[in-house]
Amino acid sequence: MLLTNWHVFPEAANARGAGANFLYEQGDSGLARGITFELDPDALFHADQKLDFAIVAVKPTAVTGELLSSLQFLSINGSGAKILPGMPIMMIEYPNGGAKRYATTNNRLLEIRDDGFLRYETDTDGGSSGAPGFSDAWEVCALHHASIPKLRGNDILNKDGSVWNPGDPEDSIYWIANEGVRISFVVKALGAIKSANPTGQRLLEELLAGTIDPADEVAKLTAQGVPEAAPQGASTTLLPTTQSFTRNTMAVTMNFSGPVTIFVGGATPTAMDIVSPAPSVLEPEKALRFDPNYDDRKGYDPNFLGNGIAVPLPSVAPAHDREMYKEDGAIRVLDYYHYSLAMNAVRRMQMWSAVNVDYDKAKRMVSGRKFFGDDRWIGDPRIPAKVQLADHDVYAPAGQIDRGHIVRREDNAWGETPTEVEFGNSDTFHWTNCTPQHAAFNRSNPGKQWDNGAGLWGGFENHIQQNLQTGGDTRACILAGPVLADDDPSEDFGTGPVRYPLTFWKVVAVASQDAGGGRTLRTYGFLLSQADVVARFGVEFAAGEYARYQVPLATIAEKTGVIFDDVLLRADTKAA
């Protein structure tokens, strides 16, 4: 069974089609893809909104044939005395869909609450909901579920003291504590569940049989008395167990060889020992949900525009061919929901991407972060992690650099079903689709710290969207990528030099209605630079106000090494 949060799986339908990926870890040979087991909510599912937990059965065999029984598991029990305020609480997490990480420092437990929650200063990254929290004896004592921001009245504050508004980056929020669900309360709640499914009931009973509070066991043994001697002829060995407790610099080692009553520690910590958080607004970390099956992603469709019009994928000039990520000697094209891309292995960013976009309202039946969940970037498990520029390389330490989408999330969040819309949105949050972009360039409304100017890239993306929403045909094919130039600037943020691009390109292909009522392919190529904002701050479709950035596709090809098919060059509205 898998224990996670209610805000991750509020209903059984949310768990259908989802998988649990085990052994997704960074090793000497790179990032292991892991083993994925499909969840089985039809066998067992229960969600508790008040305590923000959900439990769901896991199928016994992985999609690749491995047995779930071959893996280890975490045991839980109903003891409410596993940890005290002031003691450390450790976390094992997979933040932002990345590899396993341990949070074992600056991790004091701040408060044990009577409403079923714990508060602690252990620092977790976004997307860590459902992570287990451990005492220093490695007993599971918490299920991580939320972060607590600093408030001024009812306003959430940023690190610089300004008021955070919905839609602003969550990285700027001043978080003062984290909160988890007490496992003892979860165990008690599970004891009240009755499953109508015999399989589910059996799973629950097996789980609950192992959750007895050890203190209750000691009490039972004490009540029964200790046998005076072992029967003659029997060979019985009582092996003492050793348990270590650490608080500050004090270490106590105890050997248990029979029923005991234990009191550990001195006086109850005073108010000076515990940092009490301010009244809080809880922010449940509902995370993006990704389709675990990468084999069925169809990728970009060159014939998407219909009307007999094809928009082929680009290729790469010979001078750049050696830089590309290849498998069996051929450039690997990665397919996602509605888009495809190819990676420049040397620069660890995409060389190009191509996406099918449809702004038909009927194909956008769900939207918004409340439905999709908070941003969570993940690596693509199909290719090595070493060819994917990730958070620790540049995005986290570079304060003014955004995780810039090349395929825009709004462009890709469409489909025939809500699930397709959701997975289309989520698929844009792979590191393969990310490039370092200055906030004043990436965001359509960067904010006052950048003189309230309109971000060029973000504003241009909005301009494309508005054209497609107001025109007769809501579809477009968009090819895009960074200009990976040899003279791009370089910065070392702790993991080695990273060259970041200053210029980005985008080609918009639409089926434009001609005088005869038919449709003709039209392409528009653009080069947009973030060089000025980097230098200043540190690090039917019409071009409209962006016409000054329009360039011939041949110019883009010359600068990038990306080759466009002749059919696109002939349709170039700037070629003349």
The catalytic residue positions are 405
Is there a binding annotation on residue 442?
yes
Q: For the CA atoms of 66, 37, 70, 197, what is the dihedral angle to 10 degrees? A: -120
Which of these, 229, 234, 252, lies nearest to 242 by C-alpha position? 252
- Tokens representing 225 are 């008395």
- Tokens representing 238 are 């009582």
- Tokens representing 144 are 């991580």
Q: How many Å is the maximal CA-CA distance in the chain?
A: 105
- Tokens representing 373 are 């969940």
- Order of strands across the sheet that contains 53-56: 2-4, 53-56, 45-48
Please give the C-alpha separations between residue 203 and each of 79, 130, 141, 211, 414, in angstroms, as whole numbers: 21, 20, 21, 13, 38
Bridge partner residues of 92 (DSSP): 102
CA atoms of 429 and 407, how far apart (whole Å): 9
**H or E, element range at 437:** strand 434-438
Q: Where are the alpha helices (DSSP H) in 309-387?
A: 318-321, 369-372
Look at strands 315-316 and 497-499 and give their pairing.
unpaired
Q: How many CA atoms lie within 13 A of 526 on its CB side?
A: 24
CA atoms of 437 and 404, how far apart (whole Å): 5
CA atoms of 378 and 391, how far apart (whole Å): 9
Find the length of the chain.
576
- Tokens representing 469 are 């929403």
CA atoms of 165 and 75, how far apart (whole Å): 40
Binding site per annotation, positions for Mg(2+): 442
